[in-house]
Amino acid sequence: MRRLQTDILILGSGGAGLFAALHAHTIDPTLRITVAVKGLLGKCGCTRMVQGGYNVALAPGDSPERHFMDTVEGGGWLNNQDLVWTLVTEAPRRIRELENELGCFFDRNPDGTIHQKAFAGQTFDRTVHKGDLTGIEIVNRLAEQVWARNIGRLEEHRAIALVKSGRGEAIAGVVLIDMRTGDFVFVQAKAVVLATGGGPTMYRYHTPSGDKSCDGMAMVLRAGLSLRDMEMVQFHPTGLLAGIDTRLTGTIIEEGLRGAGGHLLDGAGERFMPRYDKRAERATRDIVSRAMFDQMRNGKTGPNGGVFFTMRHLDPALVRREFKGMVERCRDVGFDLVSGLVEVVPTAHYMMGGVEFAPDGATALPGLFAAGEDTGGVHGANRLGGNGVANSTVFGGLAGDAVAAWVKENGAWREPDVGDIDAAVAFASQPLQRPAGSLEPIRSALYDAMWEDVGIVRDAASLARGADVLADLDRRLDAVGVAADDLAFNLTWHDWLNLKNLVLVSRAIAAAATAREDSRGAHWRADFPQPSALDTSRYTQVRLRGSAIDVCSQPVAFTRVRPGESLIRDAAE
Ligand SMILES: Cc1cc2nc3c(=O)[nH]c(=O)nc-3n(C[C@H](O)[C@H](O)[C@H](O)COP(=O)(O)OP(=O)(O)OC[C@H]3O[C@@H](n4cnc5c(N)ncnc54)[C@H](O)[C@@H]3O)c2cc1C
């Protein structure tokens, strides 16, 4: 097996991974930093796909306290409040860094201040954006800076296992597959930043980029660490529903469209959201998604089984000007966003759960840091639109600062546990030893089980059914083979690895959803429709023990504000 050495290994090149690399390099340019990524650096992951924008309290009248309260209220009081406070207080610094040091240029008001638009579930218009294609601006500028510096790259290298030191006291490195050849590579590193970005691609309709298959979360589980809040999967209400023969089905049209006054209509053309929430279409994503699901279950659908979205009652020039990218995207699949109806469906978008971490990115395993969508605790039960890219860039930068400092203090290449490396290679190679079969029926059964039984509305019976199917799918994956004649860019092999990870993380979602017997944020139990008492809130923790998923819960620490109180009032006093 090829063996490489680096001081800091960063897994993933989204907002979290690229910021971690740049900050670590700024702290100490002599460090050997390597970014390993499943795709091409700057061309993959979800940060690039960010449409709407970035939440940050900048304007007069807004404040970090207000951003904090919106985030905690939106998160159903499950958030780790210290992480939220870090998010809202660091975000203004990070947005200035993006503009003043890294070269991003966001949309402006006529007076030259940064334009901030409305996003659902927020009490202030605080979403910074570059038209409706904000992520491309951010990732292009970050990638240019990484290319310009002495930062190593392992592109098309897929991480498959975190490897501890022989005595298990710290991280020693990572096993990867060089996807271009199919060879295994062990990268020994003094510290590792996990930034592979979650991605709920186990649902029939989903938004994240195709390279995301919860690899980081699966690696964390197999390494014995815990994940929190895994039952909290966010569905974005406006996924395009353009039939089964286009990959654009499931991809989203952005939330700012609802913020700007777009309406949702049932199959008969009736507006339904005002019946579900006084904020109507501007209610949070969970509420809107459930209302749509309800309409769909009652058969009030369009031709493809979804509902309709329309902007035709608004000024057409405004829609064309403000949402150029969305108008084009709809046109690509035959919909007219300006004056017609667009068929939409709730689509799995984001995982609020993930590995537990401290504000500086440290995890329970010394030397392993994490940031971005692989982590849990920032968003609690529900993420506000615009807080995702703020999360990945704020905590990516902080993890970069901390990992560089950690390597200076504790830095040593540790001898890896050879058993861990052998086990990782044996695990990934197993389908290559069996006669080739088809993965398609397994993928399709996974999509169905997660959408029907572990999706927007759940109950004990559906979750039990879903868990049974997932256990069966895991067994079927262990029995199916993959042709091994050519391992270079062997996409079927990588699909098998993707499915193995997705099934494991789906089991974690189902187990956490079964354990949480109340409804909170994105988690809706038809058999327990009420939230439990907020001031005794607990969050779920899952861990892998042998092949079983163990679930327990921990009390939420209200370190800054208790339910019923407000930081905004405190700040004003
Ligand atoms: C369509 C869309 C629109 C969005 N719009 C918004 C928005 O308007 N505002 C907002 O705040 N948020 C938005 N989000 C969410 C936002 O993109 C994420 O919250 C955030 O940017 C994720 O950053 P990340 O760095 O954690 O992960 P990503 O940017 O997804 O990066 C993950 C990286 O890890 C790599 N990777 C994955 N697996 C492996 C592996 N095994 N080995 C090595 N590398 C690996 C990937 O290739 C990728 O480079 C949107 C998401 C989508 C999908």
92-145 pLDDT per residue, tens: 999 999 999 999 999 999 999 999 998 877 899 999 999 888 999 999 999 999
Atom of ligand 1 nearest to the CA of 13: 49
The pLDDT tens digits of the residues spanning 437-478 come to 999 999 999 999 999 999 999 999 999 999 999 999 999 999
Task: Establish whether residue 365 lines the binding site of ligand 1, counting it when its CB lies within 6 angstroms of any ligand atom.
Answer: no
Structure confidence at residue 120 (pLDDT): 78
Structure confidence at residue 573 (pLDDT): 41
Dist CA 524 CA 287 (whole Å): 10
Amino acid sitting at position 460: A
Q: Which tokens is 504 given?
A: 């494991």
Dist CA 77 CA 556 (whole Å): 8
| Residue pointed to by tokens 């991280």 | 171
Split at pLDDT 50, 70, 90, the class of 569 is low
Greater confidence (333 vs 178) lies with 178
Q: How far is the CA of 10 from the centre of ligand 1 (A)?
A: 15
Question: By the 8 A CB rule, do 207 and 348 touch?
Answer: yes
From 9, 10, 37, 50, give the residue whose CB has the most ligand 1 atoms within 8 Å, as the site to mutate: 50
DSSP-assigned states of every residue in 226-281: -EE-TT-EEEEEEEE---TT-TTTTPBPPTHHHHTT-EEE-TTS-B-HHHH-TTGG
Nearest to 161 by CA among 225, 210, 201, 218: 218
Q: How far is the CA of 512 from the centre of ligand 1 (A)?
A: 23
Residue 394, pLDDT above cutoff 60: yes
The pLDDT tens digits of the residues spanning 58-105 come to 999 999 999 999 999 999 999 999 999 999 999 999 999 999 999 999
Dist CA 446 CA 465 (whole Å): 12
As a whole number, the mean pLDDT across the chain is: 95
Q: By CB neighbour count within 10 A (0-12 exposed, 13-18 middle, 19+ buried), where does 341 fall?
A: middle
| Residue pointed to by tokens 């601006």 | 137
Structure confidence at residue 147 (pLDDT): 96
CB atoms within 10 A of CB 82: 14
Q: Which residue in 23, 236, 282, 383 is the catalytic one?
A: 236
Task: Establish whether residue 215 lines the binding site of ligand 1, counting it when its CB lies within 6 angstroms of any ligand atom.
Answer: yes
Alpha-carbon distances, residue 216 vs 19, 46, 159, 373, 401 (angstroms): 18, 14, 8, 10, 21
Atom of ligand 1 nearest to the CA of 219: 41
| Cα–Cα–Cα angle for 466, 468, 474, rounded to 5 degrees | 100
Q: Is 236 considered catalytic here?
A: yes
Greater confidence (168 vs 245) lies with 168
Dist CA 470 CA 449 (whole Å): 8
Structure confidence at residue 159 (pLDDT): 98
H-run or E-run covering 33: strand 33-37
Write the residue with the smallest CA distance to atom 35 of ligand 1: 12
- With a pLDDT cut of 70, the percent of the chain lying above it is 99
Write the residue with the smallest CA distance to atom 50 of ligand 1: 50
The pLDDT tens digits of the residues spanning 556-566 come to 999 999 999 99
Q: Which tokens is 403 given?
A: 């990992």
